[in-house]
């Protein structure tokens, strides 16, 4: 097995780099690379029905919190929260169905 001299490898690499540098520089300067402009538009639309359903869920959560700490009809508040959450789920499913597959 032959021993490889690291200094000799460095010298060869340096000579190769010196030989290729003018060619690479000429190629890079010959014609500029075309500018690539990537434009991404993210369109988020929130329809009124979805916003209203989310607002009802938030109101139901508030009502449940108030009944927990101030006393009151906790069962009714939980049921109202469940109804509001189900309504929001249905609204989101309907919205996805209207949008169709992407």
| Better-scored residue on pLDDT, 29 or 46 | 29
| Amino acid 99: pLDDT | 76
Cβ partners under 8 Å of residue 49, min gap 6: 91, 95
Structural domain contains residue 30: no
Structural domain contains residue 88: yes
Determine phi and psi for 73, rounding to 5 degrees.
Answer: -95, 80
Mean of the pLDDT values across residues 23-39? Answer: 82
Residue matched to tokens 């209203």: 52
Structural domain contains residue 60: yes
| Amino acid 42: pLDDT | 64
Whether the predicted pLDDT of 1 surpasses 60: no
Q: Give the number of domains in the chain.
A: 1
Structural domain contains residue 27: no
What six digits make up the tokens of 90?
A: 């249905």
Domain that holds residue 60: 48-97
Structural domain contains residue 84: yes
Return the ∠ at Cα 31 (arms to 30 and 33), rounded to 5°: 135
| Better-scored residue on pLDDT, 78 or 27 | 78
| Better-scored residue on pLDDT, 79 or 95 | 79
Structural domain contains residue 78: yes
| Amino acid 43: pLDDT | 58
Nearest CA to 86 among 48, 60, 67? Answer: 60
């Amino acid at each position: 097995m032959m021993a490889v001299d690291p200094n000799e490898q460095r010298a060869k690499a340096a000579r190769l780099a010196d030989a290729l540098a003018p060619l690479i520089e000429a190629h890079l300067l010959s014609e500029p690379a075309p500018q690539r402009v990537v434009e991404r538009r993210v369109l988020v639309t929130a329809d009124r029905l979805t916003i209203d359903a989310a607002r009802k869920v938030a109101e139901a959560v508030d009502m449940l919190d108030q009944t927990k700490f101030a006393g009151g009809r906790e069962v009714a508040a939980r049921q109202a929260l469940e109804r509001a959450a189900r309504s929001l789920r249905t609204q989101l499913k309907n919205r996805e169905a209207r949008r169709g597959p992407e």
